[in-house]
A and B are shown apart, each in its own frame.
Chain A
Amino acid sequence: MTGPEVETTYREAMRDAIREALATDDRVIVLGEDVADYGGTYAVTKGLHEEFGRDRVRNTPLSESGFVGAGIGAALGGLRPIVEIMTVNFSLLALDQIVNTAATLRHMSGGQFHVPLVIRMTTGAGRQLAAQHSHSLEGWYAHVPGLKVIAPATASDARWMLPTALADPNPVILFEHNALYGEHGSIDPVGGPVDITQAAIRRSGNDVSIIAWAGMVHKAMAAAAVLADQGVDAEVIDLRSLRPLDADTLAESVARTHHAVVVDEGWLTAGLNAEIAALITERCFWTLDAPVRRLASAEVPIPYAQHLEEHAIPQVDDIVAAVNRLVRDGV
């Protein structure tokens, strides 16, 4: 079903998705620090406690492990919790619950239990929040069997990936890039859930495949526009799902363009970028005209000062330069 497109922001789209979930499924509850009166750290859940009450939009104390674990237990007990963690950095306090419990229960119990839980958290740099609020650790979660990991990059996906995640019988980690909340976009208000396992080709092109997710999708799109003026026709792939990876879409694209650049806001060493590069090399070795290139953040905790932060993470110019080198010089 489709309807007339409406203008909105990423933040409002996510709020609409949560509102719809609360309105249409009594099992859905929202748990997290300051999700009620404060409205959520990034104002995503603002006002929802007034619509649905404090039992369903439930403030928690500063107890990441406790309330993520409670979300897992509530999911086992028949609810469909949406747990909000302020940032991926804080989620490390709940890593035990996510990795040791949510991801293992089904297997460890021989398939008797499942954990239908969505954990939302912000990721990414760009707001001068320094080294304990700015990291991109989604690759860590993508490493873990038993989890699904998604990263909507557009307002439309912010609106329509959540229903699919909530319908999934497994724990789904949903990453929201903190620089995207104000991003405008048009969405189909009655569009319906999307297949969250599919990557999306945001721009078709013939010369190079730029693979990105979350905040880096927008930089890749900006770079593609610059490259078009320079005579390079770039394809931009928004992964959307980080686990599982949509290897088929990647391989099909690279087989056409013969060049691949992976852009990761996380670090280079042992990053998700390495997994993607290896996957492309394994699948597309004979169709590649040059080695797979990786752009990632500098190997440094994200600094506060604006100019240092800018230099720590991949920027549009870096992507343009890397693509040009790859396509023109083969390196």
Chain B
Amino acid sequence: MTGYELKGIPAEACRDLLRDMIRIRVLEERCAELYAASKIRGFLHLYIGEEAVATGVMHALDSDDSVLATYREHGHALLKGIPATGIMAEMFGRSTGCSGGRGGSMHLFDAATRFYGGNAIVGGHLPLAVGLGLADQVAGNDRVTVCFFGEGAMAEGEFHEALNLAALWNLPVLFCCENNRYAMGTSLETSESQVDLALKAAAYAIPAWSVDGMDVLEVARATKRARSMITGGGGPVFIEFQTYRFRAHSMFDPDLYRDPAEIETWKERDPVVTFAGWAIEQSLLTGDDVEALWDAARDEVTAAVIAADEAPLEPVSSLLDHVTATTEEVSS
């Protein structure tokens, strides 16, 4: 039914990959419900359909690697190690949120796991990834900075400036383009004169290729290969992950610009469903195993929702905290 191939991926890793895709799916579906219930406000952008990208990439990284993502970043944050409780509380605007209620859905941060957001200016975080890579190069460590962005960012000047700098300075940065084919409501074909996105990156003398972003094993394999090229001193790498979001751009989006048949066609390739089916077919997992993963994810998210609901609000007296830092704060 699918073309999944284990090549180089241990069979036991399949359970972890599936578990994490399911965790993202459950978290996101609960977010949609909570938005409808007015528990989560602001803009909420869901990743449902794209789970194989974040999951495959994150499983191929070292825990010390730095990650920057977009405003569609709940899944990346979760897999980088921010507990669901911290993510949910942030979306509830509570003091226990991973950004202290200052960021919300679009700005999840975590210094401890080197998760640098949660960035909501399209393309704006690509230069940051270059700078983090420069700091690692100067320090001489083996860390890789991984920067996720959508194909819409490739029309921004900052994409081009960042790739040029990263290539000129041979920096350890992995550029992960999550090509879900639509920048809000603008299709790839109407926003890019060159729709072969790897070619655009290759123009900066960066190794670049395209991967099926609905195949979690392929994503993980490509990322491992890219990471070893980077840590081997080869400089930055660009990978385009071809994927699709099953939901609208945000909760405000009536999704008028996509043919429902197109959405249905992509849903047939649902990365969670197809991978679970394949794992059962291959006898890597049983149906009960898969059901247990769904149950565990639901329990994790339910606990996070209960904790967020009970968590305190930041006192208004703290409104002006964290605008500028004091020397004492940063040295403690």
A-side interface residues toward B, CB under 8 Å?
A: 29, 55, 60-61, 63, 65-79, 81, 96-97, 100-101, 105-114, 116, 145-146, 148, 167-170
Contacts and interface: CB of A to CB of B under 8 A. Distances in A.
Contacts of A145: 323-324
Given A145-B323, A170-B325, A72 B97 contact: no
A146 B324 CA distance: 5
Interface string B127-143: 11111111110110000
A-B residue pairs, 8 tightest by C-beta:
A73-B131, A69-B127, A77-B135, A110-B100, A66-B161, A109-B109, A111-B322, A63-B161
B116 interface: yes
Contacts of B126: 69
Nearest to B161: A66
A109 B164 CA distance: 28
A199 B159 CA distance: 41
Which of A73, A81, A145 has the most B CB atoms < 10 Å from its CB? A73
A101 B124 CA distance: 8
Given A67-B127, A73-B131, A76-B135, A108 B329 contact: no
24 contacts: A61-B168, A65-B158, A66-B130, A67-B127, A67-B161, A70-B127, A70-B134, A70-B165, A73-B134, A74-B132, A74-B134, A74-B135, A75-B131, A76-B131, A77-B135, A78-B135, A97-B127, A101-B121, A108-B102, A108-B103, A110-B102, A111-B100, A113-B111, A169-B324
A58 to B, nearest CB: 8
A70 B329 CA distance: 24
Contacts, number: 154
A70 B124 contact: no
Given A109-B111, A109-B117, A97 B124 contact: yes
B171 to A, nearest CB: 9
Contact of B321 (A71, A111, A148): A111
Contact of A77 (B119, B134, B164): B134
Nearest to A103: B323
Nearest to A112: B111
A70 B130 contact: yes
A306 B235 CA distance: 50
B329 A74 contact: no
